[in-house]
Amino acid sequence: MIVGFEWLIDAKGCNQNALREVEMLRDVFARIISDLQLKTIGEGNWHKFDGEGGVTGLVMLTESHLACHTYPEHGTATFNLYCCRERPEWDWTENLKTLLGAKEVKIERIVRGENPQSKTVGGEA
């Protein structure tokens, strides 16, 4: 029995300033949630680390969760989307290039449950 689908995303070469801005990451989340027709529970939780630090965010979904953590000093953002049922593929590569200036996006999709399968659905951009 399949119990969920999980996407693990590493975006590299991103605009360092964008990775320090909570509002920018909120916009990325809003786009994902809208495009995939996900439903949020509450407002989400966001934290901006001091100084030149990054941002971490988590939004609970009726489908499960969406999370991110940014590393501006490395130009990297990581995302995790877990859904209890299959969703259409979101174009992580093109969207993160546009929204965060990513140069490279690695996407791994994992089927959770019995006979789990891991499949890389995107590569270097």
68 catalytic residue (yes or no): no
CA distance 95 to 114: 31
Find the catalytic residue in 14, 34, 47, 64. Answer: 64
Task: Enter the DSSP assignment of 25.
Answer: H
69 catalytic residue (yes or no): yes
74 catalytic residue (yes or no): no
Find the catalytic residue in 34, 47, 68, 69. Answer: 69
Find the catalytic residue in 34, 47, 83, 84. Answer: 84
Structure tokens at 46: 């966001």
CA 73 vs CA 14, 24, 32, 79, 99: distances in Å: 10, 17, 25, 17, 18
Given a contact cutoff of 8 angstroms between Cβ atoms, the answer to whether 25 and 99 are in contact is no
For tokens 């509450």, what's the residue? 42
Catalytic residue numbers? Answer: 64, 69, 84
